[in-house]
Amino acid sequence: MNSSNLKYMDDNSAKNIIRLHAMFKQSRSNGPGCRTVIWTQGCPFHCNGCFNPRTHSLTEGELFPIRYLVDFIMKQKDSIEGITITGGEPLIQSQPLAAFLELLHKKSPPLSVILLTGYQWEEIGLIPDIERILNHTDVVIAGRFELKRRISSGLRGSSNKTIHLLTERYCLEEIENTPPAEIAISPEGEIIISGIDPPIYTNPDKEAP
Ligand code: SF4
């Protein structure tokens, strides 16, 4: 936890802390419209051909109190229509994720939520706190990445992944029309490459978030 979130240290019980790989304030390639993206850290699946293996470690990344995360998103709320939660595997942190979504919903009900998970839809029901998560989620993209079935469009890395519209917030066409890639430059000059089909980037120290 760095000095920027020390003021949230009173909120440090395990259920209120999320391990993150990265955050991106405003993205246009992680779902419809402009969205804040949260990449959680840690994934047990190790899919062959995973675009972002740096998210696999269960001990790397950085710990964030959920209140910090909600405040981070609320600063963007006039510029975004929702958030996208991806990883890594977000659902291995289901308890703090549920608490985070409930707190976010209390503060800003209109923000939409898209969740990308490596779990298959049939497996999701076994995850602790999943109802609390799905209660505040509009769209779930589910399933492991399968390299042989790679399509890399419409928020799906491979064709076996399934799209679940849990509310009427978005239609299938809107999800499928998500731009596959983007390159952004932060105010600090950092290059951020994102999306389901990012262009190859030759600097290994600057892979996608
Ligand atoms: S579930 Fe996603 S993050 Fe995890 S290994 Fe597969 S593609 Fe990578």
What's residue 203's pLDDT?
41
Q: What is the mean pLDDT of residues 23-51?
A: 95
Going from the C-alpha of 151 to that of each of 56, 140, 145, 176, the distances in angstroms are 22, 18, 10, 12
Task: Specify the pairing of strand 139-142 against strand 162-165.
Answer: antiparallel
Q: Which residues lie across from 176 on neighbouring strands?
A: none
Say yes or no: CB of residue 43 within 6 Å of ligand 1. Answer: yes
Residues of the chain above pLDDT 90, percent: 74
pLDDT tens across 103-153, in order? 999 998 789 999 999 999 999 999 999 999 999 999 999 999 999 999 988
What's residue 10's pLDDT?
60
Say yes or no: CB of residue 149 within 6 Å of ligand 1. Answer: no
CB atoms within 10 A of CB 77: 16
Instruction: Compare 8 and 68 and report the one with higher pLDDT.
Output: 68
Helices 94-107 and 66-74: crossing angle in degrees, nearest 10, is: 40
What's residue 163's pLDDT?
98
Measured from the CA of 117, which atom of ligand 1 is nearest? Answer: 1
pLDDT above 70: residue 7: no
What's residue 6's pLDDT?
54
Q: What is the mean pLDDT of residues 50-77?
A: 95
What's residue 205's pLDDT?
44
Nearest Cα neighbor of 27 from 17, 35, 19, 38 is 35
Query: Residue 174 has which token pair?
Result: 């809107």
Nearest Cα neighbor of 16 from 83, 84, 64, 52 is 64
Residue 15: half-sphere exposure toward Cβ, Cα within 13 Å: 7
Candidates 38, 41, 50: which one to mutate for ligand 1, based on the most atoms within 8 Å of Cβ?
50
Instruction: Compare 72 and 51 and report the one with higher pLDDT.
Output: 72
Range of lowest pLDDT (61-70, 100-109, 193-202): 193-202
CB atoms within 10 A of CB 72: 16
pLDDT above 50: residue 65: yes
Nearest CA to ligand 1 atom 6: 47
Say yes or no: CB of residue 90 within 6 Å of ligand 1. Answer: no
How is domain 3-206 classified at the architecture level of CATH?
A: Alpha-Beta Barrel (3.20)
pTM: 0.90
What's residue 56's pLDDT?
97
Range of lowest pLDDT (8-17, 20-29, 173-182): 8-17
SS3 category, 72: helix
Range of lowest pLDDT (30-34, 145-149, 158-162, 188-192): 188-192
Task: Give Cα 149 distance to the centre of its chain.
Answer: 22
